[in-house]
Chain A
Amino acid sequence: MKADAPILDAREVTLQYKTRDSLVTATHRVSFEVMPGERTILLGPSGCGKSTLLKAIAGFIRPAEGQILLHGKPVTRPGPDRMMVFQEFDQLLPWKTVRENISFPLLINGVGRREADDRALAYIEKVNLTKFRDAYTHTLSGGMKQRVAIARALAMEPGILLMDEPFAALDALTRQKMQAELLELWASIRCAMVFVTHSIDEAILIGSRIVVLSPHPGRVRAELNCGRFGFDNQGSAEFGALRRRIQTMLFGDAFVDAGEDHG
């Protein structure tokens, strides 16, 4: 494989799902690429099919049209080469401790008990949960649960990390802290990542590239670079300009004055 080959290649992907009495088109011919080490954000309002798209990448949904290539091969079913972090706190297994939760996927995939445990402990330390390594998950706060889920995904050392609004259910202060922690963690791993969010600020902060999706059905409205932005220049005029540009893309001029997005 060439060094500049995309890790993930979505080509003209149309996704549909059935409700009780109709067939809904979630995305219409969506194409984008994720290059190695890129933090790609799927951003859009509800109804733009961003979560459905992520589930298709994860292998839970088959495209009705087009294809999703991972390392050049079509995605056909879920697998641990694309570890996913969900929004819901109940993604952790309540019958396992923090440590067992993280080593579980490793053990399933043939990593030895000793090594799985070592790796679990290493990643627990990375997310600052060493004190809670033997705790059952119901004793953890929402933010801690999401940290466990992130550690669990990273411990598999997947080719690509999928995150479905992982911080959306957290309170604003915890969310901000988690965003900073995720960036720090990413800097030590530098894996490719697809991150779904509906918060413009979160998109600009976390991402290096934003795929803006428009709703009903989801189509690619724009692809933007935002790797130069982080917490240190969140207040800058340039950051604000990009935020306004995205807002205009999503809502038209009418919404621009309504101002801040509390990502």
Chain B
Amino acid sequence: MDNASTGLDYHDRPERDVALAAAEQVGDAAQPLPLVARLANTMFLRRSAVLLLLAVLWEGYAEYADNELMFPSLVDTLRALWDVTVTGEILSRVWTSVRVLLIGYSVGLGVAALLTFMAVSTRFGADVLSTLTSMFNPLPALATLPLALLWFGLGLPSLVFVITQSVVWTISLNTLTGFQSVSETLRMAGQNFGLRGVGYVTRLLVPAAFPLILTGLKLGWAFAWRTLIGAELIFGVTSRSGGLGWFIFENRTQLETPRVFAGLLVVILIGLAVETLIFRTIENRTVRKWGMQR
């Protein structure tokens, strides 16, 4: 052994050169997980287990408290829910609320789209939007209800006004943040292709910022829903028929507590349905599929 030439101590060990068999002969590189492990990975099952646990706790406490006026049991609540469902009362209440919500949400969405488009087109537009959002985002939309009532009176326009308030700033803020976080490389690539103006916004910025836009839409929806129920609790009836919030308030004054619980349950169910059926589906078909969000 000659260590002198490099000045570093080394000691030659035998070398190895292995002729490998074809990879297929080694066996499956991927194997399916056992059934139990796969079931435990299903979010639906895990969530159902949590719901079941909550139902048991509810029923147990109601049994223990034994006071239908203050805390009706799950069974009583479901019975009340069944009653108002078969008479069709709850459905008309839900429709009243959802209709107002959809109008307010759409108006808010339109205004937000306009504001953010202005914000990406001109520097002045960006300054206007960021100033407005930082002013109005911390302001609970419900706080503007008294003013709305003064301007528009009791009725649909006031509700639409507060819902629009609750939606616009969240969606605009998220969309603008989304646009700003689009990487410089992606922007340059888009311009390199010859994208400009409206095409640059709709075909590059919007899809690239879609994870944050979707977050804005989701938050906006949650805010709108809360604001609406809150507004209905405060002043109730729009034109002839009241919505869900009014249903809850009305039944509380009549001490129909199981119906109050049933009303609350419906509020939750609708919220969940929109979240899981609509937004999750959109997520799965877009940002998750594109690997932009886990």
On whether the beta carbons of B188 and A90 are closer than 8 Å, the reply is no
Give B246-284 interface residues, CB cut-off 8 Å to A.
none
- 13 A-B pairs, CB-CB below 8 angstroms? A55-B188, A80-B193, A83-B192, A84-B188, A86-B185, A86-B189, A88-B183, A91-B185, A95-B292, A108-B194, A108-B203, A109-B193, A136-B291
Q: Which residues of B contact A91 (CB under 8 A)?
A: 185-186, 189
Contacts A78-B194, A80-B194, A108-B194 given: A136-B289 contact, CB under 8 Å?
A: yes
* Cβ A139 vs Cβ B291 within 8 A: yes
B191 touches A78 (CB 8 A): yes
CA distance A91 to B193 in the complex (A): 12
Residues in A with CB closer than 8 Å to B199 are 108
Tell me whether A94 is interfacial, beta carbon within 8 Å.
yes
User: With an 8 A cutoff between CB atoms, is B238 at the interface?
Assistant: no
Q: Find out whether the CB atom of B290 lies under 8 angstroms from the CB atom of A138.
A: yes
List of B residues within 8 angstroms of A84 by Cβ: 188-189, 192
Chain B: interface residue total (CB-CB under 8 A)? 21
Closest to B289 in A: A136
A residues near B189, Cβ cutoff 8 Å = 84, 86, 91, 93
Give the distance in Å from the alpha carbon of A59 to the alpha carbon of B189 in the complex: 12
Tell me, rounded to whole Å, the shortest Cβ–Cβ distance linking B69 to chain A.
54
A60 to B119, CA, bound (A): 21
What 0/1 pattern do residues 197 to 226 of B give for CB contact below 8 A with A?
A: 001000110011010000000000000000
Which of the residues B194, B210, B289 comes within 8 Å of A109, measured between beta carbons? B194
Question: B291 is contacted by which of A80, A86, A94, A104 (Cβ under 8 Å)?
Answer: A94
Total A-B residue pairs with C-beta atoms closer than 8 Å?
Answer: 66
**Residues of chain B within 8 A of A79, CB atoms compared:** 192, 194
Q: Which residues on the A side are within 8 Å of B208 (C-beta)?
A: 93-95
The answer to whether A58 touches B192, judged by C-beta atoms less than 8 angstroms apart, is yes
Taken together as a complex, chains A and B put the C-alpha atoms of A58 and B154 apart, in Å, by 59
Any B CB within 8 A of the CB of A105: yes
> What is the bound-complex CA distance between A104 and B189, given in angstroms?
11
Q: A94 with B292: in contact, given A86-B185, A88-B183 (CB under 8 Å)?
A: yes
Mask: chain A, 89-127; 1 = CB below 8 Å from B; 0 = not? 011011100000000110011000000000000000000
A94 to B182, CA, bound (A): 12
- Residues of B whose CB lies within 8 Å of any CB of A are 183, 185-186, 188-189, 191-195, 199, 203-204, 207-208, 210, 286, 289-292
Query: What distance in Å separates the Cβ of B266 from its nearest Cβ neighbour in chain A?
Result: 36
Bound-state CA distance A10–B232 (Å) is: 69
Cβ of B192 and Cβ of A80 under 8 Å apart? yes
- Size bracket, chain A contacts: 20 to 34
Q: B residues within 8 A CB of A80?
A: 192-194
Q: Which residues of chain A come closer than 8 Å to B207, judged between CB atoms?
A: 93, 95
**Bound-state Cα–Cα, A139 to B292, Å:** 11
Name the A residues within 8 Å of B286 (CB-CB): 95
CA distance A42 to B290 in the complex (A): 35
For A86, list chain B residues within 8 Å (CB).
Answer: 185, 188-189
Interface string of A57-97 (1 = CB under 8 A from B): 01110000000000000000111101110101011011100
- A13-72 interface (Cβ within 8 A of B): 55, 58-60
Q: How far is the CB of B164 from chain A (nearest CB, A)?
A: 29
Q: Is the CB–CB distance between B191 and A136 below 8 Å? A: no
Contacts of B203 in A (CB 8 A): 108
In the complex, given contacts A86-B185, A109-B193, A136-B290, what are 9 additional A-B residue pairs having Cβ atoms less than 8 angstroms apart? A60-B188, A60-B191, A79-B194, A83-B192, A90-B183, A91-B186, A93-B186, A94-B290, A95-B292
Q: Which residue of chain B lies nearest to A77 when distances are taken between CB atoms in the complex?
A: B191
Shortest CB distance B25–A (Å): 23
**Which 10 pairs across A and B sit closest by C-beta, in order of nearness?**
A138-B291, A105-B193, A78-B191, A88-B185, A95-B207, A94-B290, A80-B194, A95-B290, A91-B189, A91-B185
